[in-house]
Amino acid sequence: MASAGANGDGQDVSRRQYQILLHQCSYANTAAARTRCRDDVRQTYHVGAANPSLDCRTYSGVTVCGKIMLGPSERACVRDSVARGISYRRSEVECYAFL
Nearest 10 degrees: Cα torsion 97, 17, 39, 3: -170
Q: What is the model's pLDDT at position 3?
A: 38
Whole-angstrom CA distances from 95 to 5, 30, 70 are: 29, 15, 9
The predicted model scores a pTM of 0.85
Q: How confident is the model at residue 4 (pLDDT cuts 50, 70, 90)?
A: very low
Domain map of the chain by residue range? 11-98
8-59: per-residue pLDDT in tens?
468 999 999 999 999 999 999 899 999 999 999 999 999 999 999 999 999 9
What is the dihedral angle through the alpha carbons of 62, 86, 77, 21, rounded to the nearest 10 degrees?
-30
Condensed to tens digits (0 to 9), the pLDDT of residues 47-72 reads 999 999 999 999 999 999 999 989 99
